[in-house]
Structure 1
């Protein structure tokens, strides 16, 4: 169940990162509230996952899901450039996440 908590926590990290961007520096109320709620829920789920997962593994995967997820949202919905170097970098992060999961048993 810890891995499910961690996956959901990572997805909520993407939600709060996108909401933070949409909040325009916390000047827009609705995205600011979404950001705060998603952030709290993400941290809460991470805390649940940390009950049984190693800190280094859980934190690396949590931040990696957030980083790659935010990158993907930026590409698909915000018109950010999909340069070869950026795609390779994101692929390397995903590869590191897979290796971290496999190495944790």
Structure 2
């Protein structure tokens, strides 16, 4: 169940971050409300996830998968370029998460 909360936290964070540009610096009410609600849901779900997943692993997955998803959303919907440097950076982040998961609890 902890991983269900974790992936829900990731989804809510990605949604909130995707809405960030539409808030126009938190000057538009409804995009700001939805953005903040997304972050609140994300943190609440993350706090439940760490009951069953190590904090370091949960945070690494949350941040890495969220970052990769935001880069993809930026490219697909916001016209942001995908560069070799971005791909390399995301690859290094994912490699770090894999390394943390392979490290085990001992």
Deviations 1:40-88 (A, max 9, x none): 1100100110112111111111111221111111111111111111112
Q: Report SS of the residue matched to 2:79.
A: coil
Q: Structure 2 matches for 1:9-88, cutoff 5 A? A: 9-88=9-88
Deviations 1:4-45 (A, max 9, x none): 111110121111111122101111122111111111110010
Q: Tell me whether 90-99 or 80-89 shows the greater mean CA deviation.
A: 90-99
Q: Which runs of 5+ in 1 are unaligned?
A: none
Q: Structure 2 matches for 1:79-98, cutoff 5 A? A: 79-98=79-98
Residue 96 of structure 1 and its aligned partner are, at CA, apart by: 2.5
Q: Which runs of 5+ in 2 are unaligned?
A: none
TM-score (structure 2 length as normaliser): 0.87
Structure 1 pair 104/22, CA: closer, same or farther in 2 (3 Å)? Answer: farther
Structure 1 pair 7/103, CA: closer, same or farther in 2 (3 Å)? Answer: farther
Runs (4+) of structure 1 exceeding 2 A deviation are 94-105
Q: How many residues are treated as equivalent by the alignment?
A: 105
